[in-house]
Structure formats: structure tokens, C-alpha cells
Amino acid sequence: MANSVMPILLIEDNPGDARLVREMLAEANAAQASPDTFELKHVTHLAHAEALLAHTTFAAILLDLSLPDCAGLETLRQVCRAAPDMPVIVTSGQGDEALAVDAVQAGAQDYLVKSHLDSHWLARAIRYAIERMRANQLIARQNSRRAALRAIDSAITSSFDLRVTLDIFLENVVSELRVDTVNIWLLNHTLHVLEYTAGRGMRAEMLRQGTLRLDAGFASQAVVERRVIHISDLLQVTDTSPYLVTFQMQNFRDYYAVPFIAKGHVLGVLEILHRAPLTPDPEWLDYVQALAGQAAIAIDNASLLNDLQRSNLELSLAYDATIEGWSRALDLRDKETEGHTQRVTETTVQLARLMGIDDLELVQVRRGALLHDIGKMGIPDHILHKPGALTVAEWEVMRQHPRLALELLSPIAYLRPACDIPYCHHEKWDGTGYPRQLKAEQIPLTARIFAIVDVWDALRSNRPYRAAWDDTQVKAFLQAQAGKHFEPQVVAAFLTFLENNLL
Ligand code: C2E
Ligand code: SIN
Ligand code: SIN
Ligand code: FE
Ligand code: FE
């Protein structure tokens, strides 16, 4: 900045000291050691200084700590509060090392002893204080920007919810950029419009439900031309965007539209609006673009995930419809087991949830329960529908049904994880079940849970070979089978569950 003017505020009540400073600065200006010129403004009271600082910016402040209306470090604190962005240099009558340290800690950039000063030294001290203040501000800004980028980054990796991520994004954009309003418009690829998605700082009702056509407005231009659009005074422009008038009526002046681009695709646009001209530092636009790049990644991730979730959901709905169809067909054939499969399935899922089985596993429990007797498809009618007791040979066939189920289901990839129940539901806790005589914990937990529900429902129902038992009989039987057919803990849990559910 060649030949610029450096306004300096001197807060000093001693006329002699004030004159001294004025002379030194005049001398420094005359020496032309530097291209810029000091221009002194002098006040004698803290109150005057505060009034002035409310609306005027100075390159640096020279401060005498003992003023008529305030004395000591408190004077410094007041000035720093009134001018947080300006470097303050304390000038003191005598050297006091402890006070110097305190002053720097309280926010002074430097501490000068008046009697030791000359013009050259004072000029250098001022320039140095300004430089140091700028460097500190730059570091603080960079740190805070880096922290904001990190916060957004971790929001992207830790949340699958685009709303949450965009919220954190907006929070950081507003606080870091110190702008009045930010809006996010996302591109609807099907309808070819920008849709208002999120924003801060403006009455959102005006924009909610809002869409922008791609052939009008600066936001659309940023998307179509894939570049940042900057309008330094919105009040001076006209275009066909429906929102321009809204923005103008709210006195927005400065305007940026920054496209979201990820993997070469434009996904939307970030609008930044401010009611005064923005005076960005040189790295500002780079930073804005870094922020927009991060938002673009989040938006891209979310749409990938949405697509994936949608097709997964569609697939699993199709799977479940198929399975339920099969299980209804099985119940139809097993005539007197009408509704058995649906009942044991609902009850098993509830009991399994109570026993701590997680949601992912419950999906398999549900499928496995629905298909538990699919192996009976391989059992001939004359055995399956036999009104009396089975012969040894017939039992031989009947006992194949869990193995048949495994053979039917395991070639189907998405049903392989659901095979525990169909394959193991006739194993018994004491190892006397079939087909593998598994014992205790060798039997998968979900099959242990299912077994008791299956027997409970079978005993309460009519079968071709016997009439239904009554509830007291069934409960007494289940109780008696604890440690034999069933795991004792599962029996206890199931009986409690029955009490509470009045089944
Ligand atoms: P299911 O009728 O649905 O019976 C399921 C399970 O409930 C049986 O497995 C058994 O553990 C229990 N259960 C059912 N009814 C009774 C009963 O009257 N007394 C006792 N103590 N437990 C009972 P299991 O025994 O492995 O039988 C598997 C399937 O074999 C039965 O399914 C049924 O389809 C068939 N089955 C079993 N016993 C006979 C029978 O005596 N005659 C005929 N026709 N079929 C039978
Ligand atoms: C916008 O409408 O989103 C940008 C402002 C304008 O183009 O008028
Ligand atoms: C049923 O009759 O559907 C259940 C019998 C069994 O678990 O084998
Ligand atoms: Fe069975
Ligand atoms: Fe069953």
C-alpha cells in the first residue's frame, strides 16, 4: 500500500506528552522512511476514545494508562473491548517491568516508556504492533477456519442424515464468514430446477417451497456456468429471478453464489447475502470454495446412500413378500396349522427382542420363523396328515424336515443367514433333539427361543393326531421341560412374557 494514510489514535491527558508524540510522528512522516504517513487523532479521556472507536477505525492506538476518567490496566481493558481489532500500544511515564508484562497479557501489543522514545523508535514500534496484530489475526482466522472445516468433515463422516450435516455446515458458514444470510439450493436433476433446501438468517418462509428455474437468476447462473457469481450491490441490478425483489426489499447488498461441485457434477449452490459490502480478506473466497466443496461431498454421499437405501428397501420388501407367500402356502398344506406360522413368528420376534437380539438379527429371526417348517414340503401327505401316531419309518421321514429346510434355503444367498431356526428348531437343550443332537449353547440362541414358542403354539392347537391342550396344561408342560427340551432361562423369559401379554 504505497502512500497510504495510517490513522493513529492517541489517548493521553498530559499536554506535554501529547505534543511530544505529535512531534515524533511528524518527524517520522518527514523522514519518509516508509511510504505511509501517520495521521494523529488525539483525545484526553477514555469516554472520548470509546465514543470515537464506536464508528472509526484506526491503524493503531497509543494509550496512556492514567486518564482523568480511568486509571491502570482497567483503561487498557476498556480500550481493547472498544477496539478488539486494533493494536493498542501502552505508553508509560516510567519503566515498570511487571506492569509491562501485565499490559501485554491484558491485550496490549507493546509497552513503551515515553522518556526513552525517539521518532524512529516510535514509528517502528507502531508498524511492528500493526504487523503483529495482523499476524495474530491471520493465525486465529486460519485456526478457526481449519476447525470449522474439521467440524464439517466429521459431521459428514459421522452422520448419514444430510439435514444434520447441512445444519452443521450452515452453523459454521455463518459464524466463520460473519454474513447475514446463507441459503442452500439443491439441483433437482429430474425437474431441472433448484430447490431451496436449508438456510440461515433470512425469514425462511419466503424461500421454503421455493424453486428457481435454471434460466433465471444469479444462483442458477452459478450452476449453469459452474463458477462463483459475485454481485457487489444487489440494489443496482435487475434480472428475471423471482427472489431478486425479495432480496432487495430486505436490503441485501453483497451477494455470492458458489456452486456445489462433486466428482465433476453440479449438485446445487450456496448463496451468501450480506446487508453491507463484504470486505473479505484474500483467502476468503478460497475458504468459501473449500466449504462448498465439503458440502458437495456431503450432498453427494447422501444421494448415493439414499439410492442405495431405496434399492435395498425395495429388495427387502420384495424378499419379505416372497417369504410370506411361501409360508402361507405351507400353512395351507398343513391344514390344521392355520395361522400357526404367523403367530409363532410374531411371538418369537417379540420374545427375541426382549432377550436382547438386535434389530439386524431380528430380520433373520423373522425370516427364519416364517420358513421354519418349509422342510415339510418334502413330507408326503399320508404322513403329514396322518390322524394317529407315526410309525418308526414315518418318524424317520418326518425327522428329515429340518435338514430339508437347510437344503432348500442355503443356496439362496439372502436366506442363508436365516437358516438357524429352520435347521435347529427341533434340537433340545439336553441334546436329545434332531437332526444333530446339539446340546445347550451349541444350539443357536434364536433357535432356542423359537423352539419354545413353536411347541407352545402347537400344543394349544388341534392337530390331526390330537386335540388342543388347555393353557394351564401347556404352561405346566413348558415349565417341566426346562433344562430338558428347553433352556431354563428361555422358559423363564417366555412365561414372564406370557403373563405380561395375557396371551
Ligand atoms: P407340530 O404338530 O407342529 O409339533 C411341533 C412340536 O410341538 C413337536 O415337534 C413337539 O415338540 C411339540 N408337540 C406337538 N404336539 C405334541 C404333543 O401332543 N405332545 C408333546 N409332548 N409335544 C407335542 P416334533 O415332536 O418333533 O414333531 C414335529 C412334527 O411332526 C409335528 O409338528 C407334526 O407335524 C409331526 N408329528 C409329531 N408327532 C406326530 C404324530 O403323533 N402324528 C402325526 N401325524 N404327526 C406328528
Ligand atoms: C437468486 O435468486 O437465488 C439469486 C439472486 C438473483 O439472481 O436475483
Ligand atoms: C408346525 O406345525 O408348523 C410346527 C411343527 C414343527 O416345528 O415341526
Ligand atoms: Fe418343525
Ligand atoms: Fe411349527
The per-residue pLDDT for range 199-235, each reduced to its tens digit, is 888 765 666 667 888 888 899 999 999 999 999 999 8
386 Cβ below 6 A of ligand 1: yes
464 lines ligand 1 (CB under 6 A): yes
Q: What pLDDT does 208 receive?
A: 60
Q: Which residues have CB under 6 Å of ligand 2?
A: 212, 217-219, 239, 241, 243-244, 247, 271
pLDDT at 33: 65
> Nearest bound ligand to CA 339?
3
Q: Is the minimum distance from the CB of 459 to ligand 1 under 6 angstroms?
A: yes
CA of 373 to the centre of ligand 3 (A): 6
Please state the length of the chain. 503
Instruction: Write down the mean pLDDT value for the chain.
Output: 89
Cα 287 to ligand 2 centre (Å): 22
User: Which of the residue ranges 8-12, 404-408, 434-438 would you say has the lowest mean pLDDT?
Assistant: 404-408
* pLDDT of amino acid 2: 52
Task: Determine the pLDDT at residue 161.
Answer: 77
Q: Which atom of ligand 3 is nearest to the CA of 402?
A: 8
Q: Which atom of ligand 3 is nearest to the CA of 425?
A: 7
| pLDDT above 60 for 449 | yes
Nearest residue (by CA) to ligand 1, atom 34, is 384
Q: Which residue's C-alpha comes closest to atom 3 of ligand 2?
A: 219
Q: Are 276 and 252 in contact (CB under 8 A)?
A: no
User: Is the separation of the CB atoms in 409 and 416 below 8 Å?
Assistant: yes
* Number of other residues whose CB lies within 10 A of the CB of residue 39: 13
* Residue 271 scores a pLDDT above 60: yes
**How far away, in angstroms, is 384 Cα from ligand 1 center?**
10
Q: Using one digit for the tens of pLDDT, what is the confidence trace for 36-93?
A: 899 999 999 999 999 999 999 999 999 999 999 999 999 999 999 999 999 999 999 8
Would the pLDDT of 503 be above 60?
no
Spacing, Cα 455 to ligand 1 middle (Å): 8
The percent of residues in the chain predicted with pLDDT above 70, rounded, is: 94
How do beta strands 211-213 and 37-43 pair?
unpaired
Query: Do 252 and 181 meet the contact criterion of CB atoms below 8 Å apart?
Result: yes
Ligand 3 pocket mutation pick from 454, 459, 463, 465 by most atoms within 8 angstroms of CB: 454
Q: Which residue has the higher pLDDT, 465 or 418?
A: 418
Ligand 1 touching residue 398 (CB < 6 A): yes
What pLDDT does residue 144 have? Answer: 86
466 Cβ inside 6 Å of ligand 1: yes
Say yes or no to pLDDT of 1 above 50.
no
374 contacts: CB under 8 Å, gap ≥ 6:
326, 327, 330, 404, 405, 408, 409, 422
C-alpha cell recorded at residue 405: 429346510
Per residue in 169-191, pLDDT tens? 898 888 888 898 999 999 987 77
Express as a percent the part of the chain with pLDDT over 90: 57
pLDDT at 17: 95
Provide the pLDDT confidence category of residue 332 given band limits of 50, 70 and 90.
confident
Model confidence at 281: pLDDT above 90: no
Residues with CB under 5 A from ligand 4 (ion): 373
Question: Measured in angstroms, how far is the CA atom of residue 340 from the centroid of ligand 5?
Answer: 7
Burial degree of 53 (CB within 10 A; 0-12, 13-18, 19+)? buried
Q: Using the CB atoms, write b or e for 430-457: b if 16+ within 10 Å.
A: eeebbbeebeeeebbbbbbbbbbbbbbb
Tell me which residue has cell 439372502.
Answer: 414
Residues 6+ positions from 461 with CB-CB distance below 8 Å:
336, 337, 340, 468
pLDDT at 21: 96
Q: Which of 343, 376, 401, 428 to mutate to test the pocket of ligand 3 (most atoms within 8 A of CB)?
A: 376
Residue 339 has pLDDT above 60, yes or no: yes
Which of 79-88, 201-210, 290-299, 347-356 bottoms out in mean pLDDT, i.e. has the lowest?
201-210
pLDDT tens digits for range 302-322: 777 667 666 777 777 788 888
Kindly report, residue by residue over 105-147, the tens digit of the pLDDT: 999 999 999 888 899 999 999 999 999 999 888 888 888 888 8
Q: Which helix (H) or strand (E) holds 37?
A: strand 37-43
Closest atom of ligand 2 to CA, residue 269 = 3
Ligand 3: which atom is nearest the Cα of residue 376?
8
